[in-house]
Amino acid sequence: MTADTRTLDTRSLRALAHPLRIKIMDSLRGDGPATSAVLAARFGESTGTLSWHLRHLAENGFIEEDEERGTRRERWWKAVHKTHVLPTSRLRKDPEARASLDLYLGQMVQDMTDQVSMYLAEDWEEEWEGASLLGNWNDLHLTPAALTSLREELMALVNRYAEAPHEPGALPVTAQIQVFPRRKRG
């Protein structure tokens, strides 16, 4: 794990587990630093509400002021960590974490669904649409070890692209990789 990665525990998960705070974190990590006014406009909230949530995230070490930007009147915020690791199997066993974990995971799935829906609702140039993929493989049969290997290989592949320099003409890209076991039907 790198310095850009934070593993969530019960305390930090409880601090993050709010729909607006999850959206703020996703925005700061994906779109870069922003002010409370920018985020308020982005999410249709008041700047007061956003400021309160930003202070809460800062107090819990998720974000910090971006001192390279802003003025005395305008505070810019940035994410401290690029990635959050959520050890779900450990947190599920902690009764104090369960409600926060359920909220966080439910919001994460809803946000992913919303992102796919927005992509499908927009008109894209053929070049971009042809390069995109919404995939589903229901015919994999893996052991826990093989599933772990698949997950690690996929994460390494995505991280290789995430760490590469931005090329001219590049757009932000959402990568949603969902790998999990399922029960056989019927």
Note the residue count of the chain. 186
DSSP state of 3: T
| Contact predicate 24/50, CB 8 Å | yes
Classify the C-alpha dihedral 116-56-66-62 as positive or negative: negative
pTM attached to this predicted model: 0.81
| Contact predicate 16/22, CB 8 Å | yes
Task: State the pLDDT at residue 2.
Answer: 63
Distance CA 97, CA 13 (A): 7
Q: Which residues of the chain have pLDDT under 70?
A: 1-2, 183-186
Domain map of the chain by residue range?
5-122
| Residue of 147, 145, 116 whose CA lies nearest to 132 | 116
Joined together, the tokens standing for residue 1 give 């794990």
| Residue pointed to by tokens 């999850």 | 22
Element (H, E) at 55: helix 47-59
Task: State the pLDDT at residue 70.
Answer: 73
Cα dist from 29 to 20, 80, 155, whole Å? 14, 9, 17
* Interior angle at CA 23, CA 50 and CA 108, nearest 5: 150
Mean pLDDT across the chain, nearest whole number? 91
CATH number for the region 5-122 comes to 1.10.10.10
